[in-house]
């Protein structure tokens, strides 16, 4: 299925779904919607919706990524201690669908060390049914550019809603809210989001961004490790978390997933807790390594000059010894 055809079918799907839901809701307040010719309209819309869904399902193969494409290495989009959920290390597609470029998407939640801050609230079967976003340690955590790139899309106008991490609210999310968001398009599903063009046909997408937290806008150039926004709970989300994925186009309706690996981490599996170090930490370590090599080189030059008799050999030996010791401090 071509990209254009899939895009048209996605638009048709949403229009038909909205029309059908409007008729269903209208039937509760307008009696005539049960009289002729409205039943035929109901049947026509329903049949058209089924046809569109079947066509979209049959064309799902077009969204399957190239199995031979190697993972793209990028930095982690966060720093600190996090736990992976819905990971492509365990299952592909990781979120149960190739749609919206989610083939290799991953969700991560903040898991502070005991004593470093409030713990992440667990799943509640009944009570409390909802929690405020700020009850979760991931809320407000900085989101970082995973590589140098250009901002293609950046939005943060949708609100951060209450959590859906209880059985009643999870049922509401799956049975009602997700359908309503589907009608609004991909932007309502992923919520506030940022898309970065990393070059070579690779785009990074961050979903569920916190309302009002953007530090970049479309067209901006970003550097690896630069803070671009904060973690939130907008869109189709049970709790504040980071949804991250790579894809081959910025259009979520037609995107195909691209595999990734995080530098120094890899791809954490479901339930795996990992530490992410920012690019500043990595660069600092590299700087230390370079400085250490330069000290050793200086020590060798001192020793060589002393051996050639350019100045006192004993003094040169002591200076070289000090330089070597400093190199490993």
Task: Specify the residue for token string 């982690």.
Answer: 76
- Beta strand 72-74 with 260-262 is parallel
CB atoms within 10 A of CB 252: 24
For residue 203, report the phi and psi dihedrals to the nearest 5 degrees.
-125, 140
Element spanning 132, H or E: none
- Cis peptide upstream of residue 93 (ω within 30 degrees of 0): yes
How far, in Å, CA of 211 to CA of 56, rounded? 32
CB atoms within 10 A of CB 87: 20
Residues in the chain: 329
Q: Per-residue pLDDT for the chain (329 aa), expressed as one digit of tens each?
A: 677 777 787 787 788 877 777 776 766 666 665 565 667 776 787 788 787 777 777 766 667 777 778 899 999 999 999 999 999 999 999 998 888 899 999 999 998 888 777 778 888 888 888 889 889 999 999 999 999 999 999 999 999 998 888 888 888 888 888 878 887 888 888 999 999 999 999 999 999 999 999 999 999 999 999 999 999 999 989 899 999 999 999 999 889 899 999 999 999 999 999 998 866 444 444 545 555 656 666 656 656 666 666 555 565 556 556 655 655 55
Q: Which among 245, 270, 85 is positioned nearest to 165, based on CA atoms?
A: 85
Residue burial 204-224, b: 16+ Cβ < 10 Å; e: rest: bbbbbbbbebbbbeeeeebeb
pTM of structure = 0.75
Chain centre distance of CA 47:
36
């Amino acid at each position: 299925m071509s990209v254009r055809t899939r895009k048209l079918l996605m638009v048709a799907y949403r229009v038909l779904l909205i029309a059908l839901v409007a008729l269903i809701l209208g039937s509760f307040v307008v009696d005539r919607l049960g009289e002729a010719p409205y039943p035929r309209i109901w049947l026509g819309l329903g049949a058209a919706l089924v046809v569109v869904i079947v066509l979209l399902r049959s064309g799902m193969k077009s969204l399957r990524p190239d199995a031979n494409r190697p993972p793209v290495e990028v930095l982690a989009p966060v720093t600190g201690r996090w736990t992976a959920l819905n990971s492509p290390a365990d299952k592909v597609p990781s979120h149960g669908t190739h749609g919206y470029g989610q083939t290799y998407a991953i969700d991560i939640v903040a898991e502070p060390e005991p004593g470093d801050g409030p713990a992440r609230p667990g799943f509640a079967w009944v009570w409390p049914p909802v929690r405020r976003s700020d009850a979760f340690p991931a809320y407000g955590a900085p989101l970082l550019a995973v590589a140098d790139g250009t901002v293609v899309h950046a939005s943060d106008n949708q609100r951060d809603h209450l959590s859906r991490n209880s059985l009643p609210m999870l049922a509401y999310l799956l049975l009602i809210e997700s359908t309503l968001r589907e009608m609004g398009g991909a932007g309502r599903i992923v919520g506030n989001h940022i898309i970065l063009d990393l070059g070579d046909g690779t785009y990074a997408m961050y979903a569920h961004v916190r309302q009002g937290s953007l530090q970049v806008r479309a067209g901006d150039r970003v550097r690896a490790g630069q803070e671009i926004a904060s973690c939130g709970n907008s869109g189709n989300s049970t709790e504040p978390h980071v949804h991250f994925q790579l894809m081959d186009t910025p259009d979520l309706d037609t995107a195909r997933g691209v595999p990734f690996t995080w530098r120094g981490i890899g791809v954490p599996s479901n339930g795996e807790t990992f530490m992410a170090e920012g690019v500043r930490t990595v660069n600092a370590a590299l700087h230390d390594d370079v400085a250490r090599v330069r000290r050793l080189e200086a020590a060798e030059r001192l020793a060589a000059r002393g051996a050639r008799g350019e100045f006192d050999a004993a003094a040169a030996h002591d200076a070289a010894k000090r330089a070597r010791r400093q190199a490993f401090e």
